[in-house]
Amino acid sequence: MIRILLVLVMLAATAGAVVAYGDPARISAAGGMVTHMLRKASAGPPRSVQIPRAENGEFTLHARINGVRVPMIIDTGATSVVLTYETAKAAGLPLELLEYDVDVETAGGHARAARLTLDRLAIGRLVERSVPALVVPRGQMKTNLLGMSFLNRLESWEVRADRLMLHGYP
């Protein structure tokens, strides 16, 4: 709806410029100015999050999974977002429908995990929908991992000094 309104405003402004100026060069300049103003207005603030390094060297954060606040550790070595059974239950995920048929290696050794898709995973202003994830059985892991199935959706991420910066697409 907002995009349609922006397009209508742009068309009205361009039509007004045609009537007001009548000179093709001025019309082009007015159109460029209107386009620049609309891009600036619609861009909004950048979608980025900074995460400080914890004393143990890890980057820990609180995410929202389907609206539920959960602790996570950034793990670039994890192919996927991995949730503990307890977190998945708290987030209201359909645990009774899961099949634990994916082999995974955890810090505690070998385990089987179940595939699922998170409706919504948010870290501050960064919100992703339909994020592939894994759930491990009760007691297999102590923490949730924010792995590459989320990080690969970002425009970029980088570590500078003791801060991890996550940058989403505009």
CB atoms < 10 A from the CB of 65, how many?
A: 24
Rg, C-alpha atoms of the chain: 23
Q: Are residues 25 and 77 in the same domain?
A: no
pLDDT digits (tens, 9 = 90+) for 105-140: 877 788 899 999 999 999 999 999 999 999 999 988
With beta carbons less than 8 A apart as the criterion, state whether 170 and 46 touch.
Answer: yes
Would you say the pTM of this structure is higher than 0.75?
Answer: no
Number of domains in the chain: 2
Let me know whether 125 and 145 are in one domain.
Answer: yes
Do 141 and 75 lie in one domain? The reply is yes
Examine the domain organization and report whether 37 and 106 are in the same domain: no
Same domain, 74 and 30: no
Q: What confidence tens digit (pLDDT) does each residue in 55-65 have?
A: 999 999 999 99
Residues 25 and 108 placed together within one structural domain of the fold: no
Domain range spanning residue 37?
2-43
Looking at the structure, tell me whether residues 101 and 140 fall in a common domain: yes
Q: Are residues 112 and 31 in the same domain?
A: no
